[in-house]
Amino acid sequence: MENINRMNRRQFLSGCLATAATTCAAETMDAARAENVSATIDPNLVVIVADIHVALPWSEQKYRTGREYPHVNGKIAELVEELLKLRPLPANVIGLGDISLAFSEEKEYAICRRLLKPLEDAGIKVTHTLGNHDRIAEFLTAYPEYAGRVRFGDKIVSEVSTPNADFILLDSHVECAEDQRGKYETCCGHGCGKEQLEWLKERVASATKPTFVCAHHQASETGALKTATRAPSVFGYLHGHHHHWMTNYLIDGYSKNAKTMLQVGFPTFGLDSDVGYGIMRIGKNGA
């Protein structure tokens, strides 16, 4: 913990995210270099994606939205194609929830896994957390391996470790009763719950590397704001949900001992006009 305490959060996060829109990410690559470099995997390269909202045709929707988004799955396929062109390849892709278009149907998760399979085939680990349009039972039909992870009721916590930093993926979805599905949305609120937050407090207190706390919702909506800002090991909070880029500082207190931390919100990928993802390269002294 001594090394973590000496680090400055703002310095560590300086330039941490290279944004990439779907129309320009591949163009930022040096094409000649990409062709000549083998597809090695960089364990310190992480891609952050939020709100992919896998779509079904209206005729196949069990809980009818009355809307179709035929372009969305094609955009996800474009995302996969772009990521596979990166040199080196990222070791990890982190998904910040809302895998489902609206009402968390089993087929959406099966489609998601199929669309992202080329990443797994290339040796890239994909790790999801759940958002307000997701439900745990339907998610587990396509991702049964998550059932054995840290569990708090219907919430699953995942962790992603890299040589120089760790990522904790909190679960902030709160499910509606079955009879409310198809009327409003899948989720009836947001929050991590007392048990998950107590676990987080203990986890970051024992962390030996810089740590990023991640969830679908903002820190103020998950209940993790004070835990994240007060823990010396936590260097940033990453979330989705709002479908557009957001950057602001979390503040705990107003005295000379106030704690601040960068919070970054990511856009949707494919559903709305603000489309993109983040690329984080993590060094020993900064990201």
Q: Is residue 150 part of a domain?
A: yes
For the chain, report the end-to-end CA distance as a whole number of angstroms: 18
pLDDT at 83 over 80: yes
pLDDT of res. 9: 67
Please count the structural domains in the chain.
1
Confirm whether 202 is domain-assigned.
Answer: yes
pLDDT digits (tens, 9 = 90+) for 158-184: 999 999 999 999 999 988 777 666 665
Q: Does 36 fall in a domain?
A: no
Residue 205 lies in a domain: yes
| Chain segment 99-149, per-residue pLDDT in tens | 998 888 999 999 999 999 999 999 999 999 999 999 999 999 999 999 989
Distance CA 186, CA 137 (A): 12
Q: What is the CATH number of the domain that holds 118?
A: 3.60.21.10
107/171 Cα distance (integer angstroms): 21
Q: Are 58 and 68 in contact (CB under 8 A)?
A: yes
What DSSP string describes 80-148? Answer: HHHHHH-SSEEEEEEE-S--BSSS--HHHHHHHHHHHHHHHHTT-EEEE---TT--HHHHHHH-GGGGG
Name the pLDDT band for 31 (thresholds 50, 70, 90).
very low
| Residue 197 to residue 172: CA distance in whole angstroms | 10
Which residue carries 């494919």 as its tokens? 270
Is position 20 within any domain? no
Distance (Å, whole) CA 174 – CA 7: 35
Q: In terms of residue numbers, what domain contains 216?
A: 43-281
Determine, yes or no, domain membership for 174.
yes
The pTM assigned to this predicted structure is 0.86
User: What is the C-alpha separation between 103 and 53, in angstroms, rounded?
Assistant: 10
Task: Examine residue 89 and state whether it is found in any structural domain, yes or no.
Answer: yes
- Is 147 within the bounds of a domain? yes
Tokens representing residue 68 in the block: 């179709």
